[in-house]
Amino acid sequence: MDCGPGTIHSFARYGVAWPHLTHVLITHYHTDHVGDLPALLQALKHGTHPRRTRPLHLVGPVGFGAFLGRLAAAMGPHVLDPGFELRVVELESGHAYQAEDADLGVSCVSTPHTAESVAYRVELPGATVGYTGDTGPSPTVASFLTGCDVLVAECTQPDPPTMETHLSPSGLAELSIAARPGVLVVTHVAPPSVPEEAAATVAAAWGGTVLAARDGLVIPLL
């Protein structure tokens, strides 16, 4: 879910079997969420042996196909023609997508961040994973993510917040009280805030299980 700068190197660093990716979900088009997507497609085109033949599903908001066209014009034809089939799925807010060749379902809802930004809910066998993407406070987003086994949530701002398009610890605590995830993973924490401190603040206000995201973090789902 999302593919910001550093994704490809982190795959290698932490032993992720990236040649076998089946789905990439993009929430919106800011660089910190999509900056490594062209690099990923180029790596899948030239960096696998044997060459990849399995389709890759790219899931994004309405207008995602047009965005990929603009990205290809800027970055090169490999974005749309990586040497294997790309199946581009534009998922409208409030709608769901059932994967064709994997046991997972994806649904999304709009978030108050950009015109196209969405949060995702991924249904897997025996577990549900939620991802806020970038969002401001929103009862709709909280309701959509209710009951996730794992919720990966942004917490960009310190308190008191100065904008309505990102969450702060107090806003994330309110979302968590409403959504009641099994495990909350706090991510997208911007300086001068510190991830561990933001997570501790949310945990104190909410009372549930809260982890600070870090590169290489692994959370078993079953």
Q: What is the pLDDT of residue 94?
A: 95
Rounded Cα gap, residues 70 and 66, in angstroms: 6
Residue 102, pLDDT above cutoff 80:
no
Let me know: does 124 contact 221? Beta carbons within 8 Å. yes
Would you state the pLDDT for residue 222? 74
- Rounded to an integer, what distance in angstroms lies between the CA atom of residue 213 and that of residue 183? 12
Tokens of 75: 């970055």
Query: Residue 196's pLDDT band (boundaries 50, 70, 90)?
Result: very high
Residue-level pLDDT at 103: 87
CATH code that applies to domain 1-90: 3.60.15.10
Kindly report, residue by residue over 15-29, the tens digit of the pLDDT.
999 999 999 999 999
Q: Where are the domains of the chain?
A: 1-90, 93-214
- Looking at residue 11, its pLDDT comes to 94
Please give the Cα distance from 150 to 167 (Å, whole number). 18
- The amino acid at 65: G
pTM: 0.95
Question: In whole angstroms, what is the distance from residue 159 CA to residue 171 CA?
Answer: 9
pLDDT in tens, 159-183: 999 999 999 999 999 999 999 999 9
The whole-angstrom separation of Cα 8 and Cα 211 is: 23
Looking at the chain, the whole-number percentage of residues with pLDDT higher than 90 is: 96
Q: Which superfamily does CATH assign the domain made up of 93-214 to?
A: Ribonuclease Z/Hydroxyacylglutathione hydrolase-like (3.60.15.10)
Q: What is the DSSP string of 107-170?
A: EEEE-SSSSS-EEEEEEETTEEEEE--S----HHHHHHTTT-SEEEEE--SPSSP--SSS--HH
Task: For residue 212, give the H/E element and its range.
Answer: strand 210-212
3-state SS assignment for residue 88 = strand
Mean pLDDT value of segment 109-122? 98
Assess whether the region 1-90 and the region 93-214 belong to the same CATH fold: yes
Note the pLDDT of residue 100. Answer: 76
